[in-house]
Amino acid sequence: MIREIPRVGVYVCHCGANIAAKVDVEEVARFASKLDFVESARDYKFMCSDPGQQLVVDDIREKGLNRIVVASCSPRMHEKTFRKACQKAGLNPYYFQMACIREHDAWVTEDPGEATDKAKELVQGAVSRVLHHESLVPRTVDINPNVLVIGGGIAGMQAALTIADAGKTVYLVEREPCIGGNMAKFDKTFPTLDCAACILTPKMVAVGQHENIELLTYSEVVDVEGFVGNFKATVRKKPRYVDMDKCTGCGVCNEKCPAKAISEFDQGLSKRKAIYSPFPQAVPNTPVIDRDMCIYFKKGKCRACEKFCEADAIDFDQQEEKITLDVGAIIVATGFKPFDPSVAERYGYGKYPEVYTSLEFERVNNATGPTEGQIRLKDGRVPETMAIIHCVGSRDKNHNAYCSRVCCMYSMKYAHLIREKTGANVYEFYIDIRSPGKGYEEFYNRVQSEGVQFIRGNVAGVTDKAIGEDEKGKLIVLAEDSLSGRFLRVPVDAVVLSVGLEAAEGAEAVARMVGISQDQDGWFNELHPKLAPQATPSDGIFLAGCCQGPKDIPDTVSTANGAAAEALSLIMREKVEVEAAVSSIDAERCMGCRQCETICMFDAIEYDSALNVCVVNEAICKGCGLCASTCPNKAIGVRHFGNEQILSEMEGVML
């Protein structure tokens, strides 16, 4: 219903050349000026700039405009900007409509004439729609000040610490028995070669001891409900079979346990017990019992750990527990998993024992690892030559097309460590060296000067089929040296595969739970790749670290602090404005059939039995419109997405 005579202002943005190079913006403005109720129409270089916004403000004041249409980019980018401009000029922000002529037209249409026509149609749609807009008042709801962080790698830990230091409560949920993530497995870290444990352990301890951090390890988030400011997360705590309050972390249980299993933490290169902590400095240092490997759980007899535990902490009856957490914001920091090279058979992983993945090699190098940090072949010999193969699973159309960003650098870290520890000859087989970062190129130069041989070219395969005498008993790396054009056979004692990074196991389930999306490679999508790299299209959900794409530790920590800052900025507001676009029920038309009540997944509709009508609770309604499209009497309308508004836009764009 149109209540006052609309006076529409239309602004067609050039977006520099983004729109204007394809769309004849002047022509679109001319066209718009002839539409019904349009008072003024003009084009401008950058509508989102201050002078651009000021145009809107001035025109509203001077020309008495009461409806505004800006034809520019996606509303996701600047709807808020222009709504604010309207508000500044005293116009209700909902009297604004955006026509998306960049993403939906200029960027995706080949022919300029057609693009101009389409822009006119989209503008006409927006003008017809805005005529039917109503003045709405955004609602506010209280924000719960607690934050949930999913994933306890360096990203999740850093984010948790930053928020906790600001005095806010953080729940940090990690599915493994302890925190630290992949970084905890490393020996040294490029480019400074600080020992990973030396920089990580203090952080892990700080997380474990922080009064504002509630650490939930061996736990998984299984459900998230609600919305920005008011999420309800359900966490499943797996039974450790060890009482965390009683356990002193003395380690006797581990010593006495007779059952052995393969150590996941050591990448299968060593054995652990059935009752175990992944590594000695683990936080928390309470071990867990691996139910599948425990002799008592398998055969009903043993209980050695229990017998020797002086703290009486072993509890075979512990059950899985489910708890609910109320939080206002969620940071997803689920990290990555390394590419599994057994699917790329040519590298011989799994076939030749001396072919290692990079993560295995981290463990080999690590003082607490299977070889206590010594680089030794499986038969105990010190290697004389080693090959490091870059881009395994990355920059490879058969696997992942993207560059994993950290492998060049960690490969050179290995070259340095091998030279230092064994003096062996090292060959780096690379495609391109990627070393952007502070001190990274310098590290590359340093490794070159240490006598490491860099061979540029794709590796065709690894074999043990010797031809010459010098190849006997060795692994031979077959590669083309693309700089000299020669085909090489390089005999070595061991090979390290610099495997790329992939989204963590279970990332898809996490995405679904919190309502975010993944890109074609499985990484989580940010709201905007440049300008909103930590936010997501779901308000109140933020990203940190490698879950959004491969990153080194410095970038991981930066994004973690970025996500923490965004989460803090949200919860410190105490109240959040939520969409005014909610449903409303016309009591005259409602017959109390209650179909809307059943269909609403937010329980936002209540039935008033006295009046036999349904009523919307606006504080809960999210405006999805399910009820409106379900109502058999058409008694329900969604504000801002009402029938008049939608139908008039549809008709407008069809000209």
Partner 1 sequence: MKEESKEFTPNILYALCSWCGSGGSETAGAMKLHYPENVKPVRFYCTGGIDPVYIFRALLEGADGVVVSGCHPGDCHFDTGNYRARRRIAAVKTILNTLGLDGDRVWLRWVGHGEGKRFVDTASEFDEHIQEKGPSPLKGIRGV
Residue range at the interface with ligand FAD (CB under 6 A); choices 125-133, 164-172, 204-212, 333-341? 333-341
Alpha-carbon span 235 to 172, nearest angstrom: 11
Half-sphere exposure of 414 (CA within 13 A, CB side): 35
SS (HEC) of 348-414: CECCECCEEEHHHHHHHHCCCCCCCCCCCCCCCCCCCEEEEEEEECCCCCCCCCCCCCCHHHHHHHH
Residue 173 binds which of ligand FAD, partner 1, none (CB < 5-8 A, kind-dependent): ligand FAD
DSSP structural state of residue 256 = H
Alpha-carbon span 360 to 375, nearest angstrom: 11
Residue range at the interface with ligand FAD (CB under 6 A); choices 206-214, 298-306, 499-507, 577-585? 499-507
Residues 120-149 close enough to bind ligand FAD by CB under 6 A: none
CA distances from 614 to 43, 128, 582, 597, 634 (A): 46, 31, 15, 7, 13
Contact 217, 321 (CB under 8 A): no
**Closest CB to partner 1 among residues 117, 354:** 117
Strands (E), 45-79: 67-72
Question: Which of 553, 605, 628, 631 is the binder for ligand FAD (CB under 6 A)?
Answer: 553
CA-wise closest residue to 156 among 494, 396, 510: 510
Residues 215-234 close enough to bind ligand FAD by CB under 6 A: 220
Residue 630 binds which of ligand FAD, partner 1, none (CB < 5-8 A, kind-dependent): partner 1
Shortest Cβ 572–partner 1 spacing (Å)? 26
Half-sphere exposure of 53 (CA within 13 A, CB side): 15
| Radius of gyration in angstroms for the set of CA atoms belonging to the chain, rounded to a whole number | 31
Burial of 275 (0-12, 13-18, 19+ CB in 10 A): buried
453 is written with which tokens?
Answer: 């041989």
Residue range at the interface with ligand FAD (CB under 6 A); choices 4-12, 72-80, 185-193, 461-469? 185-193
Shortest Cβ 576–partner 1 spacing (Å)? 17
**Closest CB to partner 1 among residues 198, 509:** 509
Shortest Cβ 289–ligand FAD spacing (Å)? 19
Contact 194, 201 (CB under 8 A): no
Shortest Cβ 378–partner 1 spacing (Å)? 43
Question: Which of 43, 59, 105, 176 is the binder for ligand FAD (CB under 6 A)?
Answer: 176
Shortest Cβ 537–partner 1 spacing (Å)? 6
640 is written with which tokens?
Answer: 């801002």
Residues 509-548 close enough to bind ligand FAD by CB under 6 A: 510, 545-546
Shortest Cβ 410–ligand FAD spacing (Å)? 4
Contacts with partner 1 by CB under 8 A lie at 74-76, 100, 102-105, 107-111, 114-115, 117-118, 121-122, 125, 511-512, 515, 517-520, 525, 537-538, 581, 599, 601, 622-626, 628-630, 638, 641, 643, 646-647, 649-651, 653-654
Shortest Cβ 459–ligand FAD spacing (Å)? 18
**Closest CB to ligand FAD among residues 259, 417:** 417
**Would you put residue 251 in left (φ > 0), alpha (ψ -120 to 50) or beta?**
left
Residue 153 binds which of partner 1, ligand FAD, none (CB < 5-8 A, kind-dependent): ligand FAD
Shortest Cβ 284–ligand FAD spacing (Å)? 14
Shortest Cβ 126–partner 1 spacing (Å)? 10
Question: Which of 77, 207, 388, 406 is the binder for ligand FAD (CB under 6 A)?
Answer: 406
Shortest Cβ 342–ligand FAD spacing (Å)? 16
- Please say whether the dihedral angle defined by the alpha carbons of residues 47, 51, 53 and 59, taken in this order, is positive or negative: negative
**Closest CB to ligand FAD among residues 554, 625:** 554
Alpha-carbon span 480 to 487, nearest angstrom: 4
Question: Which of 186, 429, 443, 454 is the binder for ligand FAD (CB under 6 A)?
Answer: 186
Residue 151 binds which of ligand FAD, partner 1, none (CB < 5-8 A, kind-dependent): ligand FAD
Shortest Cβ 279–ligand FAD spacing (Å)? 13
Binding flag, residue 504, ligand FAD (CB under 6 A) = yes
Shortest Cβ 539–ligand FAD spacing (Å)? 21
Alpha-carbon span 315 to 219, nearest angstrom: 18
CB count within 10 Å of CB 594 equals: 15
Question: Which of 11, 44, 296, 410 is the binder for ligand FAD (CB under 6 A)?
Answer: 410
Question: Which of 334, 366, 400, 425 is the binder for ligand FAD (CB under 6 A)?
Answer: 334
Alpha-carbon span 648 to 124, nearest angstrom: 10
Task: Say which residues have a Cβ less than 8 Å from residue 558's Cβ, sequence separation at least 6.
Answer: none
Residues 615-654 close enough to bind ligand FAD by CB under 6 A: none
Tell whether omega for the bond before 353 is within 30 degrees of 0, i.e. cis.
no
CA distances from 654 to 115, 120, 121 (A): 15, 10, 7
34 is written with which tokens?
Answer: 């002839």
**Closest CB to ligand FAD among residues 560, 635:** 560
Shortest Cβ 59–partner 1 spacing (Å)? 25
Residue 220 binds which of ligand FAD, partner 1, none (CB < 5-8 A, kind-dependent): ligand FAD
Question: Which of 284, 328, 338, 491 is the binder for ligand FAD (CB under 6 A)?
Answer: 338
Alpha helices in 461-548 (DSSP H): 507-514
Q: Which helix (H) or strand (E) holds 99?
A: strand 96-100
Residue 415 binds which of partner 1, ligand FAD, none (CB < 5-8 A, kind-dependent): none
Burial of 550 (0-12, 13-18, 19+ CB in 10 A): buried
**Would you put residue 479 in left (φ > 0), alpha (ψ -120 to 50) or beta?**
beta
Alpha-carbon span 420 to 24, nearest angstrom: 64
Residue 122 binds which of ligand FAD, partner 1, none (CB < 5-8 A, kind-dependent): partner 1
Shortest Cβ 313–partner 1 spacing (Å)? 40
Alpha-carbon span 642 to 650, nearest angstrom: 12
Residue 35 binds which of partner 1, ligand FAD, none (CB < 5-8 A, kind-dependent): none
Task: Please give the residue ranges that form the binding site for ligand FAD (CB under 6 A).
Answer: 150-156, 173-176, 181-183, 186, 189-190, 220, 333-336, 338, 358-359, 362, 406, 410, 413, 501, 504, 506, 510, 545-546, 551-554, 556
